[in-house]
Amino acid sequence: MKKVLSLILAVIMVMTCGIAAAFADGYNAGTYEGVGTGNNGEVKVSVTFSGDQIVSVEVTEHAETPGVSDPAIERIPADIVAQQSLAVDTVSGATNTSNAILTAVADAVAQAGGDVEALRSVEAVTAEKAEQQEETEILVIGGGMAGMAAALEAVQQGAKVTLIEKNAATGGTLAIAGGYLIACDADIFDSANVADSLDDFRKAWEAHMAYSGVESGYPDWERWESVVGDTGKTVDWLSESGVTFEEAPYMGFDGGAYPVAKHVKAGAGMAAQMVEMLEKAGVDVRTETKAIELVTDESGKVIGAVAETKDATITFTAKAVILATGGISQNEELVSQYSPKIHQAGVVSGAASGSTGDGLLMAEKVGAEVFDSFFSALWNAKVAPEVSKAIDASKLTTAAQLGVNSKALRFASESAVVYKRGEDSAAVAGSYVDGLASDMIQDGNAPFYYIYDASNDEVTAVLEQGVEAGVVYKADTIEALAEEIGVDAAALKETYDAYNALCEAGEDSQFGKAADNMVALTDAPFYAVQWTPTTFGSTGGVKTDLQQRVLKADGSVISGLYAAGEMSNRYFYNENYMLGASLGLYATCGRRAGAAAVEDCVK
């Protein structure tokens, strides 16, 4: 007992010394405003100091994603005050928001005359993790669309269900998505009189998949038909269970080629509503609980998983485990391994932060067969992140520009589209157009630059702001511009001259760009802006049967293990994407996994 007390006293002394060091110079009492940069712009805080303490921290302004950022906005300020430290733990799933708040508070500390570095050195003391054992019937790992659908179906069938999510908020991709679910022949839209048959969806899907990646061997049309054909039933089931969709189907994709259900409060609202539904139904939902390993018995059957929280290591014993942990988009090593095209093209991923391949790695260790080739759900081409953070890029388009790759070669029509949203006819910052993104990925020679001249005063003003911010390149000649962006000057001049000649001729015989967009670039100075392909998430995962049972390489089932969502979605796409599609697919597959897990392992 004396040793324990001595240890506690020692810890207190260390903490006290650290805090004392941090406050050695004190603060100039008052309230100060600090600013940091989050995912979607500035994060502002108001920090009040006494002479020797941080009294309060309040986030006063931000544009971070609702739901996903909420735990960080609530917890980081409270932890800073409680610990009198800037070395507090960031919130899982909201790391960028957490760091933005910490940066903003550091800004305020500096204004108040405090020692920022000393505060960053005040480390929180953590206790040794407890070892715990728990039992459930169905363990769902991952709290996104697929995982929540699986948990809902399982609990509705009478199973005891535990859902664990490694991030501080549930939702995954759903929480940052628009809340659209494809709905093939949904009863709730019977009165809408829309083209929603399986054939209608197939026609639209084939048109998208024809753009690139045809040789990949995907989609698997048999699997596609089975799942897409059930999406309407899934939407009806979710609606009956309490999910609130808009009364009429959304018809804004592909000029109304196919209907989708849209949640009244978008993806974040749907995620919040589903969590409430799950908890009300009796599902044990736990956040900040990260699964690290599947548990098997001597026969190879999956009988649970080991998970970690801040305070404990928990071994869950279960009759079945459903993996719904998302894809690999936020794991650079796995992207390089499984999606070399995506890696080489310098893709910027908009996938949920938790998409780090955890479930894939766990499943692989117990013998799951992993797809040998992955791809990604294309979004669109956008200006590089550093550009969009520095200037309003909404005036910058690619249609009438010259686009080149790192070899200074033109690689595609600058107005390439697979589908339109509204009247968009070329890549525009913020629009949903994936043709150019696909072309960039297929070419693979990143980085990609689009060249502008000074012929449009409004665009030039924006470009000059970018030059001043250091994110846009400018030169009086094409050769000098080549040096600025690091490409061969002779090659870029040759590409530029050839492009202008095509413009003068009024016909793009190289890539077929519309004549209206063939405008010669002649007015110096010249500017170059980096654009990048962006994606939603990954397509790949582990192989499963029609009931989402995970398969081995020999085609046999791994007893007790199921997977849904990005954990097993290669079947549906080649190297293109369908807007509004994935959430409906994932909900349908998650529901199947939940039903099969109960039928196989509980009843």
Render 108-163 in DSSP notation, one character per residue: HHHHTT--HHHHHT-PPP-PPPEEEEEE-SEEEE--SHHHHHHHHHHHHTT--EEE
Q: Which of 112, 60, 94 is nearest to 170 (CA)?
A: 94
Of 68-82, 386-400, 406-420, the least confident = 406-420
Give the best-scoring range by mean pLDDT among 92-96, 202-206, 248-252, 552-556.
552-556
Where does the pLDDT of residue 558 fall: very low under 50, low under 70, confident under 90, or very high at 90 and above? very high
Q: What is the mean pLDDT of residues 289-315?
A: 97
Instruction: Measure the N-to-C terminal CA separation of the chain; round to a whole number of Å.
Output: 50
Where does the pLDDT of residue 246 fall: very low under 50, low under 70, confident under 90, or very high at 90 and above? very high
Question: Which tens digit of pLDDT belongs to each residue from 304-346?
Answer: 999 999 999 999 999 999 999 999 999 999 999 999 989 989 8
Would you state the pLDDT for residue 213?
A: 84
Q: What is the mean pLDDT of residues 245-259?
A: 89
Would you state the pLDDT for residue 124?
A: 61
Given a cut of 50, whether residue 17 has pLDDT beyond it is: no
Given a cut of 90, whether residue 268 has pLDDT beyond it is: yes
Q: How far is CA 433 from CA 325, 382, 416, 445, in A?
A: 27, 10, 8, 20
Where does the pLDDT of residue 121 fall: very low under 50, low under 70, confident under 90, or very high at 90 and above? confident
Domains of the chain (ranges plus CATH)? 2-120 (3.90.1010.20), 133-374+540-601 (3.50.50.60), 376-535 (3.90.700.10)
Q: How far is CA 180 from CA 59, 173, 266, 276, 570, in A?
A: 31, 12, 8, 19, 20
Would you state the pLDDT for residue 125?
A: 60
Where does the pLDDT of residue 418 fall: very low under 50, low under 70, confident under 90, or very high at 90 and above? low
Where does the pLDDT of residue 261 fall: very low under 50, low under 70, confident under 90, or very high at 90 and above? very high
Tokens describing residue 61: 């302004």
**Residue 546 identity (one-letter amino acid):** L
Question: Which tens digit of pLDDT belongs to each residue from 79-119?
Answer: 899 889 898 888 888 888 999 999 999 999 999 999 999 88
CA 510-516-519 angle, to 5 degrees, is: 70
Predicted TM-score (pTM) of the model is 0.85
Would you state the pLDDT for residue 427?
A: 44
Instruction: Measure the CA dihedral 93/96/99/104, to 10°.
Output: -130
Contacts of 16 (CB under 8 A, 6+ apart): none
